[in-house]
Chains A and B, each alone.
Chain A
Amino acid sequence: DARVTQTPRHKVTEMGQEVTMRCQPILGHNTVFWYRQTMMQGLELLAYFRNRAPLDDSGMPKDRFSAEMPDATLATLKIQPSEPRDSAVYFCASGLGQLSSYNSPLHFGNGTRLTVT
């Protein structure tokens, strides 16, 4: 059963530390999304890639966040330096191109629960 794999599942860190979250999309999926979920804001789109190229990262605080896809099997989201307000669940999701053209759902990973103290 193909699935999106995210690591780590949980991360507790101190303010100012660097945090790296990793995502392995489903093999063959060409679109990767990073979302952040909090009680207050819900699911916010941070960045997304198609065929490894960044298409939109307008939802991401540029001064501290960065997202990359070094290869088709790995997407990373880094926060440096981390702040308490970054505490949230970070989801990676992968899919196939235009969601309206395929009967193919966006598959979510299990998320990384980040706590910054």
Chain B
Amino acid sequence: QKEVEQNSGPLSVPEGAIASLNCTYSDRGSQSFFWYRQYSGKSPELIMFIYSNGDKEDGRFTAQLNKASQYVSLLIRDSQPSDSATYLCAAEGSSNTGKLIFGQGTTLQVKP
């Protein structure tokens, strides 16, 4: 079992819809979670991080964390074709060393 798991997709949504991306993690000691976006042929870039249970909103993006269920999600409202990319979920190791473990990534396709 991988430490961070994501459905590889592709997840296809129409423009303007809400895209929901999900991630589960196995290390109960992990405290911080990150969502990175990676365009094809490019390097990952951070879009959100969350470390408290509940929701965190930033513009069209909302990250959700449920530590009891070991579940992290990312919602993208009003999806745009420019959101089409691979979204990587990452968990920081339980020793708070800054070590990030990434999931496989979910490919999102937003269709005009």
Which A residues are within 8 Å of any B CB, using their own CB? Answer: 31, 33, 35, 41-43, 45, 48, 50, 55-56, 91, 95, 97-101, 103, 105-106, 108-111
Contacts and interface: CB of A to CB of B under 8 A. Distances in A.
Contacts of B43: 91, 108-111
Contacts of A101: 96
Interface of chain B: mostly helix, strand, loop or mixed? loop
B31 A100 contact: yes
Nearest to B102: A43
Given A45-B101, A98-B98, 13 more contacts: A33-B100, A42-B104, A43-B88, A45-B100, A56-B97, A98-B97, A99-B49, A100-B31, A100-B92, A105-B46, A108-B43, A108-B44, A111-B43
A43 B42 CA distance: 13
A55 B31 contact: no
A109 B43 CA distance: 7
A106 B100 contact: yes
Interface residues of B, number: 22
Contacts of B46: 105-106
A99 B103 contact: no
B32 interface: yes
A101 B32 CA distance: 9
Interface in B40-79: 42-46, 49, 51
B34 interface: yes
Interface centre among B97, B98, B102, B104 (most CB of A within 10 A): B98
Contacts of A110: 42-43
A56 B99 contact: yes
Contacts of A109: 43
Interface centre among A56, A100, A111 (most CB of B within 10 A): A100
B44 A99 contact: no
B22 to A, nearest CB: 16
A51 to B, nearest CB: 11
A103 B49 CA distance: 9
